[in-house]
Amino acid sequence: MKITVLLGGTSSERDVSLASGLRIAEALRSRGHDVIAIDTAHGILSRAEEQAMLSGQLMRTVPPDVQALVRMEQSLPQRLNGIPETEVIFLGLHGGRGEDGTIQALLDLTGVPYTGSGHLASALAMDKELSKRLFRSVGVPTADWIMAPATEQEVAEECGFPCIVKPSKQGSTVGLSLVKDPAELQAAITEAKLHDDEVIIERFIPGRELTVTVLGGEALPVGEIIPVHELYDYECKYTPGMAREVFPADLTAEQTARVQALALEAFKVLKLSGCARIDFRLAPDGEFYCLEANTLPGMTQLSLAPQAAQAAGISFPELCERIVSLALTSGGRS
């Protein structure tokens, strides 16, 4: 099968996307597929460039022209149509316009099938406030929240301290702060606003960090993340040795069934499809609180979705093939 992998881009998660996309391309080639990798900020990558990136000898940076992605989006339909016999697009993008529904809407115009969720579901999942409203509409618990701007008194009344301050439409914990001292609130909001035009402030839920990968409507084994830092932040996610992941998580059968059921409800209410990851906190009172949904989960060697698949007996190349198959079937996207 002829597959095009989109990776890189110009979001704050570019490096993660490059690592994910290159690994996806190699995995699909190992299964006999004809794969082209396109860095959306630069264009088609040669095999030599891919190998140099994989070995760490070459890492293309984002061009100084910040309009690169805008131009790419404008020319994407023609560019994809110009790739001979591309049968499916594998989205290895993370964050920004690669995950918020923009690229998905453009791909809808080309008529070429693509992996992951559609443009509406992608936009809903990326917007944390809308996601939380939808979670609550189907009985999926989520932490209380308030949107910035907000005073210290308003946050104390609605969420309490400590609280989490983060961009409302970002991933990989970019721009996230744990605020314990009310005097630090406004600085945290300012930091988050560097990454998004909307900032969400939510009650901090202490407890265990859990994740459920959903693959084609099936919940894979639950994972637990035990980070070195108090929060599972960007450094812990992508630095070897900064977090320990346990698959399957040490939960009772009842707890496992409960959090998997909540993950499936979250997956459905957001109209997600393909492969997605739903993150939770297990609070000391035994309740699971949904943190967010990730429509294009990372596929690096340290990423959680591949570990969940491995725990289910699914190899990484097989996981990639199954994601492609979901994109090609009528049931693959809501």
Q: What are the catalytic residues?
A: 13, 172, 238, 277, 279, 292, 294, 298
Rounded to whole angstroms, how far apart are CA atoms 150 and 309?
A: 41
Rounded to whole angstroms, how far apart are CA atoms 70 and 64?
A: 13
Which ranges of the chain does DSSP label H, i.e. alpha helix?
14-30, 47-54, 68-81, 102-110, 119-126, 128-137, 152-158, 185-193, 234-238, 253-269, 304-311, 316-328
Rounded to whole angstroms, how far apart are CA atoms 191 and 112?
A: 38
Residue with tokens 């308030």: 146
CA-based torsion, 138, 140, 141, 145: positive or negative = negative
Partners of 223 in beta bridges? 211
Rounded to whole angstroms, how far apart are CA atoms 85 and 248?
A: 40
Rounded to whole angstroms, how far apart are CA atoms 109 and 81?
A: 11
Residue 180 C-beta-side C-alpha neighbours within 13 Å: 3
CB 36, CB 113: distance < 8 Å? no
CB 121, CB 276: distance < 8 Å? no
Residue 324 C-beta-side C-alpha neighbours within 13 Å: 24
**3-class SS at 2?**
strand
Q: Quick one: 11 exposed, middle or buried, by C-beta within 10 A (0-12, 13-18, 19+)? A: buried
